[in-house]
Amino acid sequence: MGLFKKYVSQTRKPEGFLGKVMVGGMNSGHSPMADWGLAHLTKIAPMEIVELGCGGGRNADALLKKYPSSHVTAVDYSEISVEKATGYNKKNIEKGRCDVIRGDVSALELPEEKYDLATAFETIYFWPGLEKCFGQVAKVLKPGGIFMIVNESDGEDKTGLKYEKIIDGMKCYTIGEIKDALIAAGFEKVKTDHHPDKPWITVVAQK
């Protein structure tokens, strides 16, 4: 495996030195897209939030700033991501507003029907089966809870499809594919948006 492929493959599950480098760039590299996605969350005031695939932890902090009365549980499969996100949110953790834990979205070990909001930024590409994993998200959301997905790829852009061929286990989904999987997993009132100039997409669904 070439160095470039080794590096970009760290997006799936950051490990070792290259994983640390990758996670170090996630917070700044994805922030414009994440902020665009966050702007779609209106008219809600969640108290309990779960941030799935939290990466470097920047978006957990952004959620805490957007909702100053909330508590965020940040979850990631990668130990390096958990370490980075814990460091990034040190003050939030000390204040009792944030927990960072290692977890698998295909088998979430979280309390059922606890969370008002679940978020997934730039991560569902690597989830092992959308309908199954979306079902796990539905399980931990309260009735009426919101699930927001924000992706840099719309499943049709050339860049996303190029990386899909390079990175083992990566799948870029279209809005239609995401919506179908959400409905099959028990979500409803699915709203979608596509950035006017970029292949960024946001999908917001209610349990």
Q: Crossing angle for the helix pair 58-66 and 16-29, nearest 10 degrees?
A: 30
pLDDT of residue 99: 98
* 25 pLDDT above the threshold of 70: no
CA atoms within 13 A on the CB side of 81: 28
pLDDT of residue 80: 87
pLDDT single digits (tens) 90-145: 999 999 999 999 999 999 999 999 999 999 999 999 999 999 999 999 999 999 99
Q: Which residues lie closer than 8 Å to 17 by C-beta, 6 or more apart?
A: none
How many domains is the chain built from? 1
Whether 94 contacts 141, CB under 8 Å = no
Whether 123 contacts 52, CB under 8 Å = yes
- The larger pLDDT score, comparing residue 205 to residue 158, is at 205
pLDDT of residue 114: 98
* Rounded Cα gap, residues 200 and 207, in angstroms: 23
pTM comes to 0.89
Any idea what the CATH number is for the domain that residue 36 is in? 3.40.50.150
Range of the domain at 18: 3-206
- Percent of the chain's residues with pLDDT above 70: 86
Mean of the per-residue pLDDT values for the chain? 88
